[in-house]
Structure 1
């Protein structure tokens, strides 16, 4: 009989607490469960065996006392397999472990609990879908209703989601007797361990369709194009993801549909830049406007507005237009519009302008 170090199997120290044992078991069971892609049934059974011993205080004490091997010369503090089988230290100890007792561990990870709690697997729910859509800058400001078309698995029109052809129905699975799971027994030194796995005939449902629908092959769903409208709220930003509950793929034979996640991309606008819920834009003024002050007309997300330029305005001045920015997505109010002023210096002047600038320069001497 090969040596087995249950602590090594679970990757824990011999001083591990019960919480550490359970945590290690959850992680390894999830990794090696045979129902998962890349799962290892033998490794999974070994992990189960180790957990059943180390999670039980009495069994763990016995295991710690008599070591990791029970064959050949026992050595100091050891024991022979024959001693246990013939009324040795445990007096003919036997164990019959039902893995239903740890159904709570598997329920969250693999979609099924103990056979006492429910029978087999849930029907396969529809997958979540993710799509992208692009909108104009002003649509992000004001909100927009957009029509979207995509191809996805939807309820089969032929069988109306039942998966059955015509009046054909379902029958109890003969392999598992309707339980949705099959049991396997493994004898070990610590007793007989009973593990459960999903029934391969009915895939955990406990029933099989007598005459599957020819269009959807018994799934109750089929691939087809779907057009719908989505309301994009005012204030949506680049990369915002909207969730539409139940608008993903249809589930198998009436199981819950998945959700649809729509990621919104906002096209740039040459007039505006966005930072959070504030809008930024640029305006150029002349030297006389900067010196004397003026009123200029500038575009905002609400249309053209008049902005007062104070006398003595310098280049790089920022004028804030309160409440003229983007609506807040999750609260009332709006951001601001920040107008960045640039004073334009002429590169060419006529004779009269030159004379005026020269006269001004003399005044400043």
Structure 2
């Protein structure tokens, strides 16, 4: 995985603001909505989202700079236990517990129980069962997968994969437990569990606040002045929204039950749309001529509050 600083095109000493602005610029350029069916753009968007997810977290950025974690956010030493998995259940368990091998484990049991093979229920070490070690991983999840639920694949250090079910409404840094997917047990004991910490990637348009979703939507001057029906995106697809006559930048509209489903109550939050009035990008001589000759019926000073 590439260095996150190189992925975002910033220097290692970049400020939080510089990192955030670099991500916004790249996210707008490579967002999948702007490049449908373009796998290259989709891959690029995932890379820059992953890099931003790491660098925006002060603690993870410090750990990465110190060499404690890799570019994926995984602690480098967490891979060691998997390196011994091929040695068999008992062999790997001895090593993951800090012994050189089964001989070291034998010596430990001999000292702990006075060299008596029968000191462990009459069967000695041969009859001992121990639960496997728990392991921890991080998994980057897209905003939409977290909001609506999905099944993602987690690539493990040893090349194996785990299928991880992302629950609808999953939250950033939420930890999922996969029972029996951790380290192998010893002597026929049960395997440990895998704990997956979810890292939700930011979306280029939607912003989550609790169970509500917020979205900025641009509208034309004509739509704002005269009112209109427009299409806006939601988590479940585009819907029609009525822009009231005389709307202004900052006008906030609510789409009920179009937000995130609460995991405890089952109720959905709302989608709040904030309008942004956009002037024409090209020259409009008739509009300019009208405004030059137009005398407002009501005097207005939009800067009154900031000048007082």
Output the TM-score relative to the length of structure 2: 0.51
Shift of residue 254, structure 1, vs aligned partner: 2.0
- The higher-RCO structure (CA 8 Å, 6+ apart) is 1
Q: Does 1:261 align with 2:267?
A: no
Q: 2:236 aligns with which of 302, 323, 338?
A: 302
Task: Tell me what 1:275 maps to.
Answer: 209
Shift of residue 130, structure 1, vs aligned partner: 0.3
Task: Tell me what 2:145 maps to.
Answer: 139
Task: Tell me what 2:48 maps to.
Answer: none
Q: 1:362 to 1:243 in 2, by over 3 A?
A: closer
Q: Does 1:128 align with 2:137?
A: no
Shift of residue 358, structure 1, vs aligned partner: 2.8
Shift of residue 291, structure 1, vs aligned partner: 2.4
Shift of residue 347, structure 1, vs aligned partner: 7.5
SS at match of 2:139: strand
For residues 332 and 362 of structure 1, the distance between their equivalents in structure 2, rounded to whole angstroms, comes to: 50
Please state which structure has a larger fraction of its residues in strand. Answer: 1
Q: Deviations over 1:106-147 (max 9, x none)?
A: xxxxxxxxxxxx969974432110011122222112211223
- In structure 2, the gaps of 5 or more residues are 1-97, 99-119, 300-308
SS at match of 1:130: strand
Shift of residue 303, structure 1, vs aligned partner: 1.0
Q: 1:229 aligns with which of 150, 155, 163?
A: 163
Task: Tell me what 1:13 maps to.
Answer: none
Shift of residue 345, structure 1, vs aligned partner: 4.0
Q: 1:364 to 1:228 in 2, by over 3 A?
A: closer
Q: 1:291 to 1:260 in 2, by over 3 A?
A: same
Q: Deviations over 1:223-262 (max 9, x none)?
A: x764442221111122111011222112221233221101
Shift of residue 348, structure 1, vs aligned partner: 6.8
Count of paired positions: 179
Q: 1:303 to 1:225 in 2, by over 3 A?
A: closer
Please state which structure has a larger fraction of its residues in helix. Answer: 2
Shift of residue 307, structure 1, vs aligned partner: 0.6
Task: Tell me what 1:9 maps to.
Answer: none
Shift of residue 346, structure 1, vs aligned partner: 5.0
SS at match of 2:238: strand
SS at match of 1:145: strand
- In structure 1, the gaps of 5 or more residues are 1-36, 38-117, 152-223
For residues 193 and 274 of structure 2, the distance between their equivalents in structure 1, rounded to whole angstroms, comes to: 43
SS at match of 2:138: strand
Task: Tell me what 1:355 maps to.
Answer: 289
Q: Does 1:312 align with 2:249?
A: no
For residues 284 and 270 of structure 2, the distance between their equivalents in structure 1, rounded to whole angstroms, comes to: 40
Task: Tell me what 1:338 maps to.
Answer: 272
* Rg larger for: 1
Shift of residue 323, structure 1, vs aligned partner: 0.7
For residues 291 and 348 of structure 1, the distance between their equivalents in structure 2, rounded to whole angstroms, comes to: 19
Shift of residue 342, structure 1, vs aligned partner: 1.4
Q: 1:358 to 1:232 in 2, by over 3 A?
A: same
